[in-house]
């Protein structure tokens, strides 16, 4: 695994030593770091399982037909085995994590909370599987450095903000690789990407491959995602730092901006929130603004 860029790349992670999900004073340096695509790492912020919930610390609780266990906005649990009592207890646990993740984001980023109606929560997920045992196609393989982009759900530049908690009971870290700033990724790969075709986007929509018309922005993000994942030299030698996130820790990043790959670990809770890029403290730092600047095109028309 590449380490030679580590000194500069270590700055891609900002460690914050708090123990409470409610941040008492918002810190503008943390906000700028997050919006610049850095990972905010809270090594001493933990999600705690109750004694009864410890029984969910097994991969056997997941329905093998589902990738993860998830709780949607209506409180509906998906992807779990067990009886009705197990489901109620699991939903309660995942819902408690959702509330704490929300509390962290609202207190860390108060302006996002002001536009609360625009901060949209995705389903909350619980991932009990061991990362090293997953086998996937190269495109779906999250062990390769990538920025997140959705093939079927065009988002027109809406941000993907994610809160992760390593809840491993045996002290096993979740190991990520974190890559270079988004603008460097874009400059590196944009010259290689296929041109956008509105006609092809219309066909994908008509065939219900996409839920709405894929914008040029969504096309470019998918192209960047694929270009990164399919380049073995970039995976091996591209700028990156290996970061173990300790058991009992939390980290937050914009996963559409921060190149990331998961290499090892088991048992994680995850909350995704979506925010319009215009509602950021600095909308100019968003992937949409960066790609607009680099291409000279609006990308979302």
Minimum CB–partner distance for residue 111 and ligand AKG (Å): 25
Which one, 244 or 283, has the nearer CB to ligand AKG? 244
Binding to ligand AKG, residues 169-228 (CB under 6 A): 174
Q: Which of 38, 229, 260, 292 contacts ligand AKG by CB under 6 A?
A: 260
Residues 223-252 that bind ligand AKG (CB under 6 A): none
- Indicate which single residue of 98, 112, 123, 148 sits in contact with ligand AKG (rule: CB under 6 A): 148
Question: Per rule CB under 6 A, is residue 256 in the interface with ligand AKG?
Answer: no
Over the window 126 to 145, marking each residue x when it contacts ligand AKG by CB under 6 A and - when it does not, the resulting string is: ----------------x---
Residue 157 CB, nearest approach to ligand AKG (Å): 18
Judging by beta carbons within 10 Å of its beta carbon (0-12, 13-18, 19+), is residue 205 exposed, middle or buried? Answer: middle
Exactly one of 124, 235, 243, 255 binds ligand AKG (CB under 6 A); which one?
255
State how far the Cα of 31 lies from the Cα of 106, in Å rounded to an integer.
12
Regarding 149 and contact with ligand AKG (CB under 6 A), the answer is no
| Secondary structure (H, E, C), the chain | CCCCCHHHHHHHEEECCCCCCCCCCCCHHHHHHHHCCCEEEECCCCCCCCCHHHHHCCHHHECCCCCCEEECCCCCEECECCCHHHHHHHHHHHHHHHHHHHHHHHHHCHHHHHCHHHCEEEEEEEEEEEHHHCCCCCCCCCCCCECCCCCCCCCCCCEEEEEEEECCCCCCCEEEEEECCHHHHHHHHHHHCCCCCHHHHHHHHHCCCCCCCCCHHHHHHHHHHHHHHCCHHHHHHCCEEEEEECCCEEEEEECCCCCEEEEECEEEEEEEEEECHHHCCCHHHCHHHHHHHHHCCCCCC
Q: Which is nearer to ligand AKG, 258 or 280 (CB)?
A: 258
CB of 18 to ligand AKG, least distance (A): 21
Q: How many residues bind ligand AKG (CB under 6 A)?
A: 7
Specify the residue, 170 or 301, whose C-beta has the smaller distance to ligand AKG: 170
Segment interacting with ligand AKG, rule: CB under 6 A, options 96-104, 208-216, 233-241, 255-263: 255-263
Segment lying near ligand AKG (by CB under 6 A), choices 20-28, 132-140, 179-187, 254-262: 254-262
Name the residues that contact ligand AKG, by CB under 6 A.
142, 148, 174, 255, 260, 262, 268
């Amino acid at each position: 695994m590449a380490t030679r860029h580590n000194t500069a790349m270590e700055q891609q992670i900002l460690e914050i030593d708090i123990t409470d999900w409610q941040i008492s004073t918002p810190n503008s340096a943390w906000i700028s770091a997050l919006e610049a695509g850095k990972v905010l790492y809270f090594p001493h912020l933990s999600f705690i399982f109750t004694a009864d919930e410890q029984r969910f610390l097994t991969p056997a609780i997941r329905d093998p037909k589902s990738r993860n266990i998830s709780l949607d906005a209506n409180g509906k649990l998906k992807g779990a085995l067990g009886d009705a009592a197990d489901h109620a207890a699991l939903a309660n646990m995942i819902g408690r994590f959702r509330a704490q993740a929300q509390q962290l984001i609202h207190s860390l980023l108060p302006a996002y909370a002001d536009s609360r109606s625009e901060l949209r929560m995705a389903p909350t997920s619980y991932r009990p599987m061991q990362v090293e045992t997953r086998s996937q196609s190269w495109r779906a393989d999250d062990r390769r450095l990538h920025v997140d982009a959705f093939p079927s759900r065009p988002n027109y530049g809406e941000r993907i903000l994610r809160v992760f908690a390593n809840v491993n009971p045996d002290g096993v870290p979740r190991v990520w690789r974190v890559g270079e700033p988004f603008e460097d990724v874009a400059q590196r790969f944009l010259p290689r990407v296929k041109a956008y075709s509105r006609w092809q986007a219309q066909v994908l929509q008509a065939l219900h491959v996409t839920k709405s018309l894929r914008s040029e922005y969504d096309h470019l993000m998918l192209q960047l995602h694929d270009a990164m994942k399919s380049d073995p030299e970039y995976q091996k030698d591209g700028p990156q730092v290996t970061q173990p996130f300790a058991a009992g820790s939390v980290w937050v990043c914009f996963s559409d901006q921060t190149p990331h790959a998961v290499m090892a670990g088991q048992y994680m809770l995850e909350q995704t929130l979506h925010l319009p890029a215009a509602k950021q403290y600095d909308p100019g730092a968003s992937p949409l603004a960066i790609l607009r600047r680099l291409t000279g095109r609006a990308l979302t028309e």
